[in-house]
A and B are shown apart, each in its own frame.
Chain A
Amino acid sequence: MELYPGKVMTLEEAAEKHPKQWLGVKVISRDKESGQPLKVKVLAKNVDLYSVRRNIGVDDVCTFYTGPIPEISIVLMF
């Protein structure tokens, strides 16, 4: 588990810098049309989502996976 005061970067930059990991980020700015995060500050990263969760606060934290989805040849349907 890695925790650090990350610098502000775009979502794409964060994914490129930390490939195939779960990130816990603070959203800094959003796209006006879609409302999706544009710039984020990485608070935590790990290959295990639950390690990230255990180390970030509850309030207003955004988590996502930076690898391809689906990661393997599965189809998600719920």
Chain B
Amino acid sequence: MKLKIEPDRPIMLFVRVKGRKGVREYRAVLDTGSQYSVIPLQDARELGYEAYCDPEAEPSSGTRGVTKSDIIEADEIELEEVSVADLAAKNVKALAYHLPRMGGVEATLGLSFLKNFKTTIDYKAGYLTIEPI
């Protein structure tokens, strides 16, 4: 999989997430600094994952995650399958969490997906490539 990228811009790519109740696709941010991937809480539930942690309604009930600016609580789930183009990874660990709406981003693709592949970010050539190991 080879995708054109631009310097000084977040690397965004469409990612498909499969659950027992269906498939959803998001434009996600590639996040090489994140242990887990993130999908929206509501979608996690609708796709059939057990994600009940709602920090606003029930504090201290989920897995804690550290971001640059905050400590969040969210359910840790294992996604049945995550795919980009024809590259698919099974049993991908993720957090079910609503990212801030104003960011324009719903999901992140973290190391829990990338560890299954060889990933190259080549800013000189202007491409991100993800290949099978």
Please give the residue numbers on chain A whose beta carbons come within 8 Å of chain B beta carbons, in ascending order: 27, 30, 33-37, 48-50, 53, 57-65, 67-72, 74-78
Contact = CB atoms under 8 A, between A and B. Distances in A.
Nearest to B3: A34
Contacts, number: 100
Nearest to B46: A58
A49 B103 CA distance: 12
Contact of B2 (A34, A49, A69): A34
A78 B95 CA distance: 11
B24 A70 contact: no
| Interface residues of chain B: helix, strand, loop or mixed (majority) | mixed
By size class, the interface of chain B is 35 or more
Interface stretch (B26-34, B54-62, B114-122): B26-34
A63 B24 contact: yes
Interface of B: 1-4, 10, 12-14, 21-27, 29, 31, 33-34, 38, 42-43, 46-47, 65, 67-68, 84-87, 99, 101-106, 108, 110
Nearest to A74: B103
A67 B103 CA distance: 10
Nearest to B2: A33
A53 B105 CA distance: 14
A51 B3 CA distance: 30
A59 B103 contact: no
A45 to B, nearest CB: 14
A65 B27 contact: yes
